[in-house]
Amino acid sequence: MKLNRLIISISLAMAGTAQANPDQWQYPLFGGDPFTPQQWHLKNTGQDGYSPLTGVAGEDLDVDFAHAMGIKGRGITVAVIDSGVEIDHEDLRANVVPGSINLLDGSGYPTDGHGHGTAVAGIIAAVEANGLGGRGVAPLANLIGFNYLDAQSEQSWFLSHGRTAENGKRELNRFTDARIYNQSYGSTLLKPFPYDYEANPSLLAKDSAMADVTNDSQRGQGSLFVKSAGNSYGTYRVGAWLILPREDGLYYNNHGLPFHSANLSHENINYWNMVVSATNAEGKRSSYSSVGSNVWVAAPGGEYGTDAPAIVTTDIQGCDKGMNRAGTSSNRLNGGSELDPVCNYTATMNGTSSAAPNASGAAAVVMSANHALDARTVRHVLAQTARQNDADIEPIMLSFTQADGTVASYDALPGWQRNAAGYSFHNFYGFGSVDVDAAVWKVLFGGVQNLPEQVVTPWSLVAANVQIPDATLEGVTSELNIEQNLTVEAVQVKLNIDHSRLRDLAIELVSPSGTRSVLMNPRVGFIGENIEEGVLLSNHFYGEQAAGVWTLRVRDTDAGTSETVAFNTQTRQLLKLNTVNNAEPGVVRDWSLRIFGH
């Protein structure tokens, strides 16, 4: 770190300035790789990424200062837990190190039959300045891969997440083993996941493993788990079924609210995962991106590449496999074009599957600026330095007819909010868009020290047993007093709620400082009744003090006007669900709070 700081200080002195602001200087991304000029996620100049539309200059990861100073992820290994990685790819192999595992046959070649994992790897650490393709966010980082999506056993999970196959502790070396684990995958649940360690010992084992790898591996520096938020803002799929909203007689009408939440699956409500949502080349939420109070930061994911820029990255080599195949042109790069006649790259990679590796690459760059930083502190720096994109976004208001016939207007998803510790937060973007240069500058010159040892409180239970009045803005509240005065890093709320139309419910938590977090917005496309041991995560209270009264509020925002629709894309069968309002008021049976802090 001292050498990095010395080199940069000399460089800045030669530039004739001592101002501590990396944004004062603009640097080209040197290297001569042919596709780098279209990699808007690295440096957005308003280019089109080979798509029909252009982006907005400046809406990018802001890497040019760090790259110009040579801070590019050197010495940091990133594990790609995915469909596999083509480790012999021409634009990856120079950065691939030993450690990959094919979880099907035990070999060191994690075969990628899809292309997804290879694209993810390229976003993180494609080689720079070799005259091929583009470059990664951390072009000097190391790569290993696991084809976990082809072999999803519990043993495979442990092996790919820093443990032995039997969930034993592994002595991870920060110079050879992964300091970052990228997980660009997820599951789509019909309602909140039952978070019950007694009923599901596997859940406890995985949570404990991630806590150990985060806090105690790498000689105490730990590793960072990065997770994609999901791609189900407007609709979601379960097998052949497309699930979508319907209100006021209109299909796909959900009043602009997220139809599926990122805050549902076990992976996404797990504190140890840094959940990442996606932005497009205009710096706004990607049309598909799942969102929620569990999002930590946002990073570029793009749109589809056929309409607006996606992400330019590596693909399985050859025109007969992967995402880019001969005869399937969807933009100026794909389809065996003159730009890439052998189809080794793609300009259609998107999703929060792209946002997560952009964040992983960013974290690798930050770690390489100071190898002594632990994983929690790197998360902390990314939150501190995130950029408030889409600054003028309006709150999403929901008007509904109450049980007494009057019309209520509810702030169902607020705009940007500043919490009592000074952190701005939005359910779309978490603390904002990742800003690599600001984070690196903070690490080099901001006096960053590792966070104090973490404390995780036991669950505090409230036996509420209170009714949720139907279609009433006021809703119902329940309070819990916390005496331990920690600095909050995150909170989890565990819920047991009886209700026959879960999509009616809005669930909020208010901190002792008065910060209001929407844990679950109304009109989420839940299927089924009741929440049993369901857990929701919020990062909204980061930096606040935990001591005092926490207030849970649950509102029922519908008298039966909205529906959830399931359409079978194979049989063309259409089912209308939740068409009848709940006959009885719902009940909050009990709820619990757990705080992660220091």
Among all residues, which ones are annotated catalytic? 82, 116, 353
> Are 459 and 382 within 8 A, CB to CB?
no
Distance CA 511, CA 546 (A): 8
Tell me the β-bridge partners of 554: 476, 507
> Are 495 and 588 within 8 A, CB to CB?
yes
Q: Which amino acid would we find at residue 265?
A: S
Distance CA 475, CA 278 (A): 32
Distance CA 278, CA 593 (A): 29
User: Among candidates 586, 223, 520, 266, which has minimal Cα distance to 376?
Assistant: 223
How many of the other CB atoms lie within 10 Å of CB of 410? 18
The first and second tokens of residue 161, run together, are 């997440």
Q: Which residues of 435-446 are buried (b: 16+ CB within 10 A; e: fewer)?
A: bbbbbbbbbbee
User: Among candidates 173, 171, 177, which has minimal Cα distance to 101?
Assistant: 177
88 CB burial (10 A radius; 0-12, 13-18, 19+): exposed
User: Which residues have a Cβ under 8 Å from the Cβ of 398 and sit 6 or more positions away?
Assistant: 255, 257, 409, 410, 412, 522, 523, 557
> Are 110 and 146 within 8 A, CB to CB?
yes
Q: Which amino acid would we find at residue 188?
A: T
Please, what is the Cα angle at 272 between 176 and 182, to 5 degrees? Answer: 50
User: Which residues have a Cβ under 8 Å from the Cβ of 3 and sit 6 or more positions away?
Assistant: none
Q: 3-class DSSP state for residue 343?
A: coil
Helices (H), 98-176: 116-125, 154-160
Pairing of strands 531-538, 396-401: unpaired
The first and second tokens of residue 114, run together, are 């899809």
Residue 418's alpha-carbon distances to 285, 394, 415, 487, 569, in angstroms, are 19, 15, 10, 16, 43
The first and second tokens of residue 6, run together, are 């010395």
290 CB burial (10 A radius; 0-12, 13-18, 19+): buried
Distance CA 522, CA 580 (A): 17
Distance CA 197, CA 295 (A): 24
Residue 208's alpha-carbon distances to 162, 165, 197, 272, in angstroms, are 12, 15, 11, 10
How many of the other CB atoms lie within 10 Å of CB of 241? 18
